[in-house]
Amino acid sequence: MAASRPSRARPFARRRLYGYAFVAPVVVFLCAIVVFPLGHAFWTSLLRVRGLRSTFVGFDNYVHVLSDDAFWHSLVISLAFTSIAVSLHMVLGLALALVLDTLKSARTALRIAFLSPWMVAPAVGATIWLWLLEPQFGVVNYLLRATGIVDAPIAWLGEQLLAFASIVAVDVWRGVPFVMLLMLAGLQTVPPEQYEAAAMDGASTWQRFRYVTWPNLRYLLIVATTLDVINTVRHYDIVGVMTAGGPAEATQVLPVLLYNTAFRGNRFGEAAAIGVLLLAIVLALSTFYIRVTRIGRDEVAR
């Protein structure tokens, strides 16, 4: 009896070893691209960095960042930008998906057309819009003046509210296609019998949407919204290229504040602290996402 235990344990230990060996490359890769940079960023946030020189200062950088008005201002701008942009992504994305779903002809061509902003790299798209919105020579002002809608050029990126609206608009232009695609996929999963039953009961278009489409898409919408929020709150490209946080910090979202603190301010320790705080926000949202997907899975299982 005692002699059989070691012989059963050895193959099991060997199988375990094989398991570790197969998982090891991925773990090493993840450590290299996620764990090490995160750890290094957190360590940097505990240092006062001046170029190639650094001194350990503990949590001083966090105290400095959290007591700086600029951080709270950027947080408010980030929250406003994220909530408005994501709301518009969802509303417009769902509306476009519903329209595309009902179309009988030119569906594929329209899908490609609507998806094209998403295919363009964000920085490239932002640069194109930067020139389109140029006050003196941009196409947008040219068309507005030519059609008599305005009689003087509009400084789209030169005034606080307009600049904020412009970056939201460009982000919506870029972000709606992805949501549209998700919703379109979700609409294909709605059982057609439910629509037939509703039609037989004499339901109007709105009632069909409210009692058939919406309940079937609800879970997908929540997932899409959470993912979109996580993506948008850490977005840098559009704002960085178009306004660099200006004018007068009106569009300085947290990622732009981080960039400006690091590369214009040469204060890498403080910038790392901003990054860690931003990570905390994204982690909180991710936790919410995981909870939502778990609830959704449980509901489906029931």
Partner 1 sequence: MKILHRALVLSMAMAVPAFAQQPIVLQWQTANLTESQYEPIWKRTIAEFEAANPGIRIEPVLVARKDHWTKFVAAAQARQAPCIVTVDLTTAAYNGYLLPLDKYWNAEPAAFRNAWSKDILASARWKGELYGLPIWGGTYGEIYNRDMVVKAGLDPAKPPKTIDEYVAWGRKLTGTDHWALAVLGGKTDTTTRVLLTWIWANGGEAFNKDMTEATFAKDPKSLAAIKLYLGFAGKNGIAAPAPTTTNYLEQTNLFAQNKIATMRNAYWSVAKVVGDNPALKGRMFATPIPANVPNAPTLANVAASSISSSCKYPDAAWKFIKFDAGRKWQVERAVIANWMPLRNDVANDPAITADPMLAAFVRMGEHARSYPLPHPAWADIAANDIVDAVQKALLSPEKTDEIFRDLDVRVTRKLRDL
Query: Which chain residues interact with partner 1 by CB under 8 A?
Result: 50-53, 134-137, 152-153, 155, 157-160, 243-249, 260, 263-268
Q: Of 89 and 267, which has the nearer Cβ to partner 1?
A: 267
d(CA 71, CA 249): 11
Q: Of 272 and 285, which has the nearer Cβ to partner 1?
A: 272
Which own/partner pairs from 58-63 qualify as long-range (CB within 8 Å, at least 24 positions apart)? 61/269, 61/270, 61/272, 61/273, 62/273, 62/276, 62/277
CB of 275 to partner 1, least distance (A): 15
Helix axes 122-132, 160-188, angle to 10 degrees: 130
CB of 266 to partner 1, least distance (A): 6
d(CA 186, CA 239): 31
CB of 259 to partner 1, least distance (A): 8
d(CA 214, CA 32): 42
Q: Of 155 and 222, which has the nearer Cβ to partner 1?
A: 155
Q: Of 158 and 296, which has the nearer Cβ to partner 1?
A: 158
Alpha helices in 189-213 (DSSP H): 192-200, 205-208
CB of 149 to partner 1, least distance (A): 17
Q: To the nearest 10°, report the CA torsion of 99, 104, 110, 115.
A: 60
CB of 155 to partner 1, least distance (A): 4
Q: Of 114 and 156, which has the nearer Cβ to partner 1?
A: 156
Q: Of 264 and 291, which has the nearer Cβ to partner 1?
A: 264
Q: Of 101 and 159, which has the nearer Cβ to partner 1?
A: 159
Alpha helices in the chain (DSSP H): 4-30, 36-44, 60-66, 69-102, 107-119, 122-132, 139-146, 160-188, 192-200, 205-208, 214-233, 237-242, 254-259, 268-301
Which pair of tokens denotes residue 114?
């609507």
CB of 139 to partner 1, least distance (A): 15
Q: Of 228 and 270, which has the nearer Cβ to partner 1?
A: 270
Between the two ends of the chain, the Cα-to-Cα distance in Å is 46
Which own/partner pairs from 203-212 qualify as long-range (CB within 8 Å, at least 24 positions apart)? 209/98
d(CA 133, CA 142): 10
d(CA 251, CA 242): 10
CB of 51 to partner 1, least distance (A): 2
CB of 84 to partner 1, least distance (A): 21
